[in-house]
Amino acid sequence: MEKLIAKPVIEKLSQSLVERTITLKSRLGRAPHLTVVLIGEDPASQVYVRNKGLAAEKVGFTHETLLFPATIDPGVVKKKVQELSASKEVDGILIQRPVPKQFKESEVVSWVAPEKDVDCLHPENIGLLVNGTPRFLPCTPAGVIEILDFYKIPIEGKIACVIGRSSIVGKPLAALLLARNATVIQVHRSTLNPEALCKQADLVFAAAGVKHLVNKNWIKDGAVVVDVGIHRNADGKLTGDVDPDSIQSLASAMTPVPGGVGPMTIQLLLENTYRSAEMRLV
Ligand code: NAD
């Protein structure tokens, strides 16, 4: 079973982005700028936000993180995000999720101007994506497609099974696969006998958030398996939605956890920020 690791994919994308950023900086008169809004002190979110900043610096972007206490009035954050949306110095705005419970996620996604919504969560950007005319690409799903393309795994005409239908992974991933002419089966919590449906697929995308849900009963001989899930074992090690030992003798290739889909998301966030900065030129 081939391991579809992210490292060479990221190296290739990153190198190209560094070069493109040098040119863009001279045309724009400044570096692309990413602003992250972090509300509360969730330790995992703090790590993600720090990593986003480091990755932005590495490709030549500038960045800042705005911190708000967990108890903040949503109206205060909304006003600040609207100011950022209007600023000529800011290209990408991202509100780190999860947000505290006094915030409504469905409303928060509309606060960022669609032209700066580098997370691709604004309803307008989701509409454009489903329409086949995307402004930005959804970061994790686009990272998945980059891995398949790098390893020259064909998508067109293949049967793809997406396990999960969240707004952040399952739904936008299905849209991207359809745009690449795959035949998409989408299974979710209410699907009867999802294993039998998934067993028809040439390409399997596990994004259910259930540790080791996918085993040999879900996989047909020779299928390519992409594991989006992230779970931490009792020993602190990361694992995914797929049981790699169980599918070892069936799958032809699989993304490992860690080192597969996980690191791709930030890379695609940077691509979106670049794209947003580039759009400011016209
Ligand atoms: P979610 O909980 O929002 O959605 C899970 C989806 O899976 C739901 O649509 C649900 O119907 C479906 N589902 C649940 N149990 C199922 C079952 N038994 N059979 C079939 N479908 C089932 O989760 P999410 O935000 O989409 O995240 C999914 C996983 O991907 C999580 O482990 C998360 O940590 C991971 N994730 C990774 C990245 C990354 O790699 N950068 C980004 C986002 C999410």
Q: Which long-range contacts (CB under 8 A, 24 or more apart) does 191-197 make?
A: 194/163, 194/218, 197/161
Assigned CATH topology for domain 29-113: Rossmann fold (3.40.50)
User: Is 90 exceeded by the pLDDT of residue 82?
Assistant: yes
Q: What is the pLDDT of residues 226-265, one digit of tens each?
A: 999 999 999 999 999 999 999 999 999 999 999 999 999 9
Q: Do domains 29-113 and 139-254 have the same CATH topology?
A: yes
**For atom 39 of ligand 1, which residue has the closest CA?**
262
Average pLDDT on 18-34 reads 97
Marked catalytic residue, from 91, 117, 119, 202? 119
- pLDDT at residue 18 in the model: 98
Span 139-254: which CATH code? 3.40.50.720
Torsions phi, psi for 212 (to 5 deg): 55, 30
Distance from the CA of 190 to the center of ligand 1, in angstroms? 14
Residue 185 · residue 201 · CB < 8 Å: yes
User: 85: pLDDT confidence band, cut at 50, 70 and 90?
Assistant: very high
Q: What's the whole-number mean pLDDT along residues 73-82?
A: 98
Tell me, what's the pLDDT at 282?
79
**Model confidence pLDDT, tens digit, residues 130-170:** 999 999 999 999 999 999 999 999 999 999 999 999 999 99
Q: Does residue 119 carry a catalytic annotation?
A: yes
- Residue 233 identity: N
Residue ranges covered by each domain of the chain: 29-113, 139-254
If you average pLDDT over residues 64-70, what whole number do you get? 97
55 Cβ inside 6 Å of ligand 1 = no
pLDDT for residue 172: 98
Query: Which whole number is the average pLDDT over 1-18?
Result: 97
Rg of the chain's alpha carbons, rounded to an integer? 19
Active site residue 79: no
| Ligand 1 center–CA 241 separation, angstroms | 8
Mean pLDDT (whole number) for 45-50: 94
CA proximity to 112, closest of 103, 123, 101: 123
CA angle (147 as vertex; 202, 143 as ends), nearest 5: 110
